[in-house]
Structure 1
């Protein structure tokens, strides 16, 4: 089984899966919206992450009428929000560790974030 980020799909396969022309994928690459992997022979290879990103691009352009410049802005903002979410979650975990140490709570306490909800699981001793 391949990982989510491993480039394994040829451009013709991706075009067929998504029912788009291969030239559309090349245009998305020229615009900097996607960056497929390359073989030693310079053939484009797409990962499942690339395919999911292309689906997002298609949803924005087809369903919402966003042009490619707008798609670029939306994707950059989404990436930035994801980075900030990860950073915020890391800070929350660090804060929870500090609070546990100060309060003498077992290190078995785990805090994980799901979407915008926090789930707290306490390990029973």
Structure 2
């Protein structure tokens, strides 16, 4: 596997995160007059940089599962390939429905809602070897 070293930013493992979820609160301008807006009260997220090794997992996708790695590699080929014949809004709706159906089946979910759709463009992507 090809490996490169990089620096990524992660949530710090602070004691506060053991008792509550990290959050960022952005009050409206009207609320700022009524609240204590010191940084500690608005944001419990503390970040730290960490050196990590990144590996190219192409060819090893089957070694990763959601339960062990926290992610999995899945392939979803959209059912709607007729992008030239539909409007942008129709395309987004079609992709949302395809995505919802895919995840419902893949995860055996009762309900899936696709709330933000970024339809792929028709531009051919060129890949380079390595990462």
When normalised by structure 1's length, the TM-score is: 0.25
More helix by share: 1
Q: Greater relative contact order (Cα 8 A, min sep 6): structure 1 or 2?
A: 2
